[in-house]
Amino acid sequence: MSSRRTRSVLAAASALTVLALGVTACSSADSTTGSTGTAAATSGKIKVVASTNVWGSVLSAVGGDKVEVTSIIHDPSADPHSYETTAEDALSAQNSKLLLGNGGGYDDFFTKLADQAPDAKKLVAYDIAATGNENEHVWYSLPSVEKVADQVAGQLGEVQPESKQAFLDNASAFKTKIETLLKKVIDLGVTHPGTKVIATEPVAHYLLDSAKITDATPPAFSEAVEQETDIPVTAVNEVKQLIAGKQVKAVVNNAQTTTSITDQIIGDAKSTGIGVVDVTETLPAGVTDYIDWMSKEVDALAGALNS
């Protein structure tokens, strides 16, 4: 059995939205973080670049109307692990004042881009988070996103000192929203103690951890999916047994990567009446706000646990 992952656009409507905005899978023009793309609209703004639109949304939240954000990856079908940069990407990096990457081996392409911008300030979310965990999906760690927001505010304040207080205020407002959302996440653990779930891929690890929800996925299954290798038959069978016996409350599914095995698991869960919670690695087309995106995913998780 092969666990080779296939990146997929989440829905036809999303694809149409992307096309309508003139975005292609390999384009570095940002259409999801508030950048207008016109010289007049962005005149005088600080040029900042993020590896994905998730971190682009954080730059936008902190920078507000004083930044022009370019997110290299903003298409659900683009895989950060294998993304090949373009000349346009390099130019964006070279013209930027601040670059924000994920790190942790997730977006190595961005490290190369950052090397081409020696004068720009650089932030790496994984390093800032310092979770002590090898899981690189730190944008699902709400406390880590708060730390990144503080660092962004500090760096932007150095670039544009006269706007330092505005950046600090924006970061404070953003973190207040995160704290409200984090309380909601923590409350899930209080109302659903001992709850177990299966995850097709450990993308939302930090979110589940904050909620004190146990990821019961066999380690061999998770490791094979992450490494894009064959999933052991014993691990697949163990997952199927957990679902068939309703020993888990939900399946947390990375909707941006698919395999024949994960498709089977999702099908089994639905037929058994177990909730499926879709999570993603980038903001859906048309979504620009981190809080809005994450809130919907937390609501979906809560709905599955309450069913």
pLDDT score recorded for residue 176 = 98
93 contacts: CB under 8 Å, gap ≥ 6: 49, 99, 113, 114, 116, 117, 120
| 63-117 tens-digit pLDDT | 999 999 999 998 877 888 889 999 999 999 999 999 999 999 999 999 999 999 9
- Judged against a pLDDT cut of 70, whether residue 140 lies above it is answered with yes
- Judged against a pLDDT cut of 50, whether residue 11 lies above it is answered with no
**Short-list 292, 82, 9, CA closest to 178:** 292
The distance of Cα 260 from the centroid of its chain, to the nearest Å, equals: 23
State which fold the 184-306 domain adopts. Rossmann fold (3.40.50)
| 141-154 tens-digit pLDDT | 999 999 999 999 99
Residue 50: pLDDT band with limits 50, 70, 90: very high
| 161-198 tens-digit pLDDT | 999 999 999 999 999 999 999 999 999 999 999 999 99
Query: What's 22-182's CATH class?
Result: alpha beta
Same fold flag, 22-182 and 184-306: yes
Spatial separation of the C-alpha atoms in residues 270 and 80, rounded to whole Å: 29
Greater confidence, 131 or 42? 131
Domains of the chain by residue range:
22-182, 184-306
- CA distances for 134 relative to 17, 41, 92, 127, 218, angstroms: 35, 40, 30, 11, 17
Residue 6: pLDDT band with limits 50, 70, 90: low
- Judged against a pLDDT cut of 90, whether residue 226 lies above it is answered with no
- 3-state DSSP call for residue 286? coil
What's the chain's average pLDDT?
88
Q: Where are the alpha helices (DSSP H) in the chain?
A: 12-20, 39-42, 53-63, 87-94, 108-115, 125-129, 142-159, 164-191, 205-210, 219-227, 233-244, 260-272, 290-306
pLDDT score recorded for residue 8 = 55
